[in-house]
Amino acid sequence: MTNDTRQESKTQQIQKAEPARTLSPFEEMNRMFDQFFGGSWVRPRRFAWPSFPELALPEAIMPKVDVIDRENEVLVKAEVPGVEKKDLDISVGENTVIVKGSSSHEEKEEQGDFYRHEISSGTFSRTIVLPAQVDGTKAKAVFKDGVLELTIPKVETAKRHSVKVS
């Protein structure tokens, strides 16, 4: 090898290093998750066995709630499908409502050599902050087709009136 060839190979091997960009903590955490889980940790994996939508996971049981502020009352609607009336517990405070419930489901299927037995159960508790103070002793609840409707009258506040200065 000649000196020119050695000089060329040295310059090709030695490259000036660029300053590295510092990753934010979030970028670093994402990079670590990607390395550990193979880059698909954000998307849940699909399983090969069939899913049974009628069997809800306990963590997934959380009622959807609507709060309607009317002139003299507050209406709370909660969707609680799969929960029976006897399994609901409702408590009302000055400006909160707590809805608790539980559900359980058991299903058996037998066909020849095939046997399937599924059991699921779960509980939930949801605290709802109301837009006004209410009188919980006069609350009325109706439960029909998996929907709870709770009507609570508002507390009468002192009405504003004029005072004449003498």
pLDDT above 70 for 162 = yes
**pLDDT 10s digits, 51-109:** 444 444 444 467 889 999 988 899 999 998 888 889 999 999 888 999 998 888 888 88
CATH of domain 58-153: 2.60.40.790
Is pLDDT of 15 > 60? no
**pLDDT on residue 52:** 46
Contact 150, 130 (CB under 8 A): no
pLDDT at 109: 87
| Nearest one of 154, 110, 111 to 130, comparing CA atoms | 154
| 8 Å CB contact between 121 and 103 | yes
- The pTM of the full predicted model, rounded to 2 decimals, is 0.54
Between 40 and 154, the higher pLDDT residue: 154
Tokens of 117: 């037995």
Predicted local distance difference test score (pLDDT) of residue 48: 42
Residue 6 confidence (pLDDT): 53
Q: Are the C-beta atoms of 98 and 160 separated by less than 8 Å?
A: no
Nearest by Cα to 75 from 67, 64, 87, 85: 67
What residue ranges do the domains of the chain occupy? Answer: 58-153
Q: Which residues have C-beta within 8 Å of that of residue 159, sequence separation ≥ 6?
A: none
